[in-house]
A and B are shown apart, each in its own frame.
Chain A
């Protein structure tokens, strides 16, 4: 039978303590090395991208390049191209005195029409652009989602009056869509 002497017991305890300590240190060192590759928790205040230094701030409402030169024939309502021409069609365009009326039939997916802006140009008898006007649809999330009571609203009617100062000189108009967001 093996007898454990006090000296042997002390030796065993010392060996255990030393080995555990060495193992812990080595393990921690390994852990530290692998942590070098890990991302660290970041300060939220430093994370969000809130500056866009290369971007000039917007000025005013959007324009359509073709409006200045559209020059529709007297009595006519022309159309000018915009970024979303493949998503809608105009209908019932009419010059009603010094106002242009019509409808935008949205042909892409419609569950909510979030944003729509129709931009109109008014021209004199020589085809010169006198002024512009806009009709804007904005879905207010708090206004009760009127579109949800029935089928999605795909047809948006509009009426855009010319400014009074040029009303008596309006001979034609042109319309286009610079803003359209639907889902």
Chain B
């Protein structure tokens, strides 16, 4: 009796073990195959974009608001990488092609096309490749596959970054409300003018109002839309906050009350208002505009409600770039903080939801933003020549390009932009800010403030930008990648592309 019993136990144990092994084998081979509530399969992607946000923007905002030992919310995300951003010249082939002609500094349109459609294109192009061919966008893929879609920006919603997901245009300036040949046609690409029925020369506002690519559209730029657009939006099932027909902007209250699946709300006729102005003028009309964090929270709520298939949401903090162009460090940093609060909203949702990939990155760096040592200055005016002449070292004996001693320029080097010298255009830098590491007596704009910031230019640079990510698959972003790789990573995470 003992022998058969022991034999039966062995058989049963093996059976149970093999059952477990078999099930694990399936799970390992097809990780998407498990029941969704029991795993961490990605259903949603929230893609947040700090326009013009370079690595130094992140560091400076961290030090400004949290001190050297603190961190922004985006810096708390576990995956960190860097993204190359270059564009290509008009009529260029893609990388690797014989006719490939790179342009090392991108604009927002080319960058948006890179992550939205996975191709390199020329500056000013949206949803078309460098030879003018229409290329589908991730938001179009998502919509076609039955996911819900959202597009949030603090810029005009027809501006390059949001438009890159929901339009196809030869020139980013073709924003509307009306067509003009100069703004919309690009005969360098097409040879001759296209008929105005071609989507590539159709004003972006007209496209957005009619193509239904994004279910939730929140931002600025009401002046780009008119009564016909409002009628088209309503016909397509949108709840329109405010009114394009009467040019009545939507308000924070309108947004709070919105509950339908498709919402169109623009809160300013142009770009939304900088946070600094709203904070200093709390009773102004502009203070009724929602922040990017508020718009993000509402967009997530609308997109996730009763949604089994998932959603794709893009969020842009646009004013980081616009204030960087102006070399306005104070407003740039405050916009960084506002954008980081939107990241907090996305991260908190993702942690609770368990099926959301959060990606935070930028389209390009803007203005060569940098942190300089307290008490130093910004020009290429080093007080001593570079010391790279060393006849005894063959690896370090080149002749420096400048051999004379530099000098501090009293008109250009010592101004403090956000201090008493701010009205003097010669005082272009540095801007100084107190941080939590400073004594309470230290003020912004003073020489004693510990954060000294400078700019290299008034336009975009070709520097790589940071990327931060949270959620399953975020390890793919912990790498040196190209901005076109973002298309593949998001597309595959949502099972939209092969």
Could you tell me if A148 and B459 are in contact, using CB atoms closer than 8 angstroms? Answer: yes
> Which chain A residues border B206 with CB–CB below 8 Å?
52, 55
Q: Shortest distance in angstroms between A156's beta carbon and chain B's nearest beta carbon? A: 14
B window 146-188: CB within 8 A of A: 146-147, 155, 159-160, 168, 172-173, 175, 177-183, 188
Chain A residue nearest to B160 (CB atoms) is A183
Complexed CA–CA distance, A145 and B325 (Å): 14
Q: Is the CB of A49 within 8 A of B223?
A: no
| A31 and B495 within 8 A (CB) | no
By a CB distance below 8 angstroms, the chain A residues around B21 are 20, 23
**B11 sits at the interface (CB 8 A):** yes
Tell which of A48, A59, A139 touches B140, judged by Cβ atoms closer than 8 Å.
A48
Query: For the complex, is A28 an interface residue (Cβ under 8 Å from B)?
Result: yes
Q: Which residues of the other chain, B, contact A148 by a CB distance below 8 angstroms?
A: 457-459
CA distance A52 to B212 in the complex (A): 10
Cβ of B7 within 8 Å of any chain A Cβ, yes or no, is yes
Check if B141 sits within 8 Å of A27, measured CB to CB.
no
| Contact for B26 among A4, A28, A86, CB less than 8 A | A28
| Pick from B30, B232, B308: contact of A54, CB under 8 Å | B232
Partner of A52, one of B175, B177, B211: B211
B 470-493 to A, binary, CB cutoff 8 A, 1 in contact else 0: 000000000000000000000000
CA distance A52 to B206 in the complex (A): 9
| Cβ-closest chain A residue relative to B327 | A151
Asked whether, in the complex, the Cβ of A49 is within 8 Å of the Cβ of B211, the reply is yes
- Does B180 lie within 8 Å of A117, measured CB to CB? yes
Which of these binds chain B: A39-47, A70-78, A157-165?
A: A39-47
Q: Which of A15, A34, A48, A138 contacts B183 (CB 8 A)?
A: A138
Q: Which residue of B lies closest to A114 (CB)?
A: B173
Which of chain B's residues have a CB closer than 8 A to the CB of A12?
Answer: 10-11, 14
Tell me which of B7, B33, B269, B325 contacts A111 (CB under 8 A).
B325
A166 located at the interface, meaning its Cβ lies under 8 Å from any Cβ of chain B in the complex = no
**How many A residues are at the interface, by size bracket?**
35 or more
Interface flag for A61 (CB, 8 Å): yes
For B339, the chain A residues whose CB sits under 8 A away are: none
B177 CB contact (under 8 Å) in A8, A16, A32, A83: A83
* A125 close to chain B: CB less than 8 A: no
Whether, in the assembled complex, B199 has its beta carbon less than 8 Å from a beta carbon of chain A, the answer is yes
A44 to B179, CA, bound (A): 28
Chain A positions within 8 Å of B62 at CB level: none
Query: Counting CB contacts under 8 A, is B342 at the interface?
Result: no
- Nearest Cβ distance between residue B355 and chain A, in whole angstroms? 12
Is A115 among interface residues, defined by CB-CB distance under 8 A? yes
Q: Which of A31, A54, A87, A111 has the most CB of B within 10 A?
A: A111
> Are the C-beta atoms of A2 and B202 separated by less than 8 Å?
no
**Is B190 in the interface zone, CB < 8 Å from A?**
no
Which residue in B14, B142, B188 is a CB contact (below 8 Å) of A15? B14
Question: Quick check: is B90 within 8 A (CB to CB) of the other chain?
Answer: yes
**Chain B residues whose C-beta falls within 8 Å of the C-beta of A4 in the assembled complex:** 7
A39 touches B35 (CB 8 A): no
Interface string of B187-202 (1 = CB under 8 A from A): 0100000011101001
What 10 pairs across the A-B complex have the smallest Cβ distances? A31-B33, A23-B22, A27-B26, A39-B145, A111-B325, A58-B179, A47-B136, A62-B178, A49-B211, A48-B136
- Write the residues of chain A forming the contact surface with B, with a CB cutoff of 8 angstroms: 2-4, 8, 11-12, 15-16, 19-24, 26-28, 30-32, 34-35, 37-42, 44, 46-52, 54-55, 57-59, 61-62, 83-84, 86-87, 108-109, 111-112, 114-115, 117, 136, 138-139, 141-142, 145, 148, 151-152, 178-179, 181, 183
| B interface list, Cβ under 8 A from A | 3, 6-7, 10-11, 14-15, 18-19, 21-23, 25-27, 30, 32-36, 89-90, 107-108, 122-124, 127, 134-137, 140-142, 144-147, 155, 159-160, 168, 172-173, 175, 177-183, 188, 195-197, 199, 202-203, 206-207, 210-213, 223-224, 226, 232, 235, 269-271, 308-310, 321-322, 325-326, 425, 457-459, 494-498
